[in-house]
Amino acid sequence: MSTLDVLRKPARFAAFGLAALGGIGDFYIVAIATGIAILLCWLGLAVTGRWRRVPPVVLAAMLFFALTCAAIALGRAALGAEAATQSRYRVYSAAAILLTFAALLRAGSARPRGIAIGAAVLLAAIVHVLAGMRSMPYMIELANLLQASRDHYAATGHGFYPGFPPPEFGDYVLRRARAVGAYDGARNAAAPTMPTGGAPSGGMHPSIFANHVHVHARVLTVVGMLDGRHGAATLWLDDGRAAFRAGLAAVPTMGPDWNARRTVVRGSVDLAALPPGRYRMGYDAGAGSGVAWTLEMVDLH
């Protein structure tokens, strides 16, 4: 979408700009709400005239970050809501929040400043620790998705890209990186495993919280997240006539016991030897656990 097309939709442009300004909120709606809160704070300073107490360097810096977020919105609004909260842009939102907080403190009376600063630091520290623990399983999942993409690209020449960017763009970047010698597809990539026959056990099966599947050139790459912390995991494929299994890498998530206990599993499987058919997929947690079957189906021709 061209710049003129973005400007022809002012509501979408404004919402995207607010989301970029409040991008520290991560989710699009939360980011928009955070952006609105920042905007209302500065409107309050302007209406009451207390902006005159704010140092010029703070005003100039805030204007710079606001215009930066507007430029981000102008260039990326056509890419969808997810593009507004990309982690690389959250530094602008964090800086805008700090500047807003500094301006409010400077515009207020001197007595409560120390209390406000101390309370804000304590609250920020608590939120930082809790949010880091809460997001750790998904950060580990993302790391495994990126590793799975490299594994799949090394095996087939096509990557496995979660969400953004589109597959064509991701493959283009990797091809260019390989052409200039900055990337070798086989380096640090795990080769696909070969499935073997077997019969799944009937024990207690784990719950599945996430399941990412990509099939290309008869290579199946999966990344899943299971309930509990496990030292091993297995992928199962069943076409109704026979069941096949392949071992997966299992990465228990870090954190204390009160945090979500999850295990991220990852692996690429060479399906060349499997007979054609329609296979259902499932995971077990090793050590004789039962198989949790997913709704995903794999068609082999």
Tell me if residue 46 falls in helix, strand or coil. Answer: helix
Sign, CA dihedral 85-94-145-250, equals negative
Which tens digit of pLDDT belongs to each residue from 48-83? 998 898 999 999 999 999 999 999 888 888 777 777
Q: How would residue 279 be classed by pLDDT, with cut points 50, 70 and 90?
A: very high
Q: How far apart are CA 6 and CA 12, in angstroms?
A: 8
Tell me if residue 223 falls in helix, strand or coil. Answer: strand
Find the helix or strand (DSSP H, E) in which 297 lies.
strand 292-300
Which region, left, alpha or beta, applies to residue 205 given φ > 0 means left and ψ of -120 to 50 means alpha? Answer: beta
Q: Are 244 and 284 in contact (CB under 8 A)?
A: no
Residue 94 pLDDT > 60: yes
Q: Which of 107, 110, 113 is nearest to 45 (CA)?
A: 107
Mean pLDDT over 184-213 rounds to 87
Q: How far apart are CA 61 and CA 125, in angstroms?
A: 25
* pTM for the model: 0.66
Instruction: Assign a CATH topology to domain 143-300.
Output: Immunoglobulin-like (2.60.40)
Q: Which of 77, 269, 248, 235 is nearest to 160 (CA)?
A: 269
Model pLDDT, residue 164? 65
Mean pLDDT over 216-222 rounds to 94
Model pLDDT, residue 43? 94
Q: How would residue 159 be classed by pLDDT, with cut points 50, 70 and 90?
A: confident
Q: Are 242 and 208 in contact (CB under 8 A)?
A: no
Domain boundaries, the chain: 3-108, 143-300
Q: Which of 70, 115, 113, 125 is nearest to 92 (CA)?
A: 70
Model pLDDT, residue 96? 94
What residues have CB less than 8 Å from 30, skipping those under 6 apart? 22
Q: Which of 70, 74, 82 is nearest to 6 (CA)?
A: 74
Residue 291 pLDDT > 90: yes
- What's the chain's average pLDDT? 87
